[in-house]
A and B are shown apart, each in its own frame.
Chain A
């Protein structure tokens, strides 16, 4: 097996390395991916030059993610949700309490108490700031790096921090299983709902322009910008819920009670 692995790796490596000189040089603005071929400009050039007039969103990555390639992002979100459901199916067990295989790491000595006080107080101070930052990342994704995926991961990480600082049941008290499963589904429903709303107004799925008819005080361009915020919020919901769900199941072997 060792030799087979080495031979397979070296063979693949040589194959890939032999193709390397065919690439455009690193950082070449005129390479086919950046500048297009011949008279045909690359689609990325359209994104760079026209995003702001089309959507009024300065962060091109957010605009492409949530508007031009909306289908892609929607089904990536569905993949994340499916991963959460898969972990639920693999690990979650509803059997009664079982003696822990590891001794739980609760130290009752004086030193342990001090450590818990330090960690607990620090986390109590820092967690609201993290959550506020996560919401900022979601809401300000149009103007700065960020968006639903990053904000959702940070928000989920703040709940993981609660579980690490106290224990899993404290985190589950704030964000129970029922809630995170509901929140994960609601996120996708928000995203798909924006698409279906466009269909209801006789446009294509996820063609946000038409939403200016039902959004107050917007025009077709700002409607795209606001709808992008809406779908980013949906993505953030799903990602938050699934990140915490994965942690909760992995850290407690699917029993959602002990964990660490």
Chain B
């Protein structure tokens, strides 16, 4: 556990979460959610939860982004808010 690293990542987490909810282009929002997942994966690796970090890297940053893009491709890309 490295405290400065911890604090920096946590601040970035809040920023990416807010941005991904502000962006109106859903494809962009999904990619930023992927960045969020990757940051939280780094955070867990830093906390010593390597298995959880590995799962999040494979699932959150990888597969769930692909699922969302697959849905956006078949629906509308623009969001009203």
Contacts and interface: CB of A to CB of B under 8 A. Distances in A.
Does a CB–CB distance below 8 Å link A and B in the complex? yes
Contacts of B73: 102, 251, 260
Contacts of A251: 70, 73-74
Given A157-B62, A251-B73, A150 B54 contact: yes
B54 A250 contact: no
A61 B67 contact: no
Contacts of A243: 63
Contacts, number: 49
A191 interface: no
Contacts of A164: 66
User: How many A residues are at the interface, by size bracket?
Assistant: 20 to 34
B58 interface: yes
Nearest to A61: B51
Given A149-B55, A153-B58, A247 B50 contact: no
Given A147-B51, A149-B55, A150-B54, A250 B67 contact: yes
Contact of A160 (B54, B55, B59, B66): B66
Contacts of B66: 157, 160, 164, 247
A146 B62 contact: no
Interface in B51-72: 51, 53-55, 58-59, 62-63, 66-67, 70-71
> What is the interface of chain A mostly: helix, strand, loop, or mixed?
helix
A84 interface: no
Contact of A156 (B55, B63, B71, B74): B63
A5 interface: no
A66 B56 CA distance: 19
A27 interface: yes
B49 to A, nearest CB: 9
A253 B39 CA distance: 31
B1 interface: yes
Given A27-B1, A61-B51, A147-B51, A247 B58 contact: no
Nearest to B68: A250
Contacts of A154: 58
B12 to A, nearest CB: 18
Nearest to B6: A26
A41 interface: no
A156 B66 CA distance: 12
Interface of A: 27, 59, 61-62, 101-102, 145-147, 149-150, 153-154, 156-157, 160, 164, 243, 246-247, 250-251, 253, 260
5 contacts: A145-B53, A157-B62, A157-B66, A247-B70, A250-B67
Given A247-B63, A250-B71, 13 more contacts: A27-B1, A101-B74, A145-B50, A146-B54, A147-B51, A150-B55, A154-B58, A160-B63, A243-B63, A250-B67, A250-B70, A251-B74, A260-B73
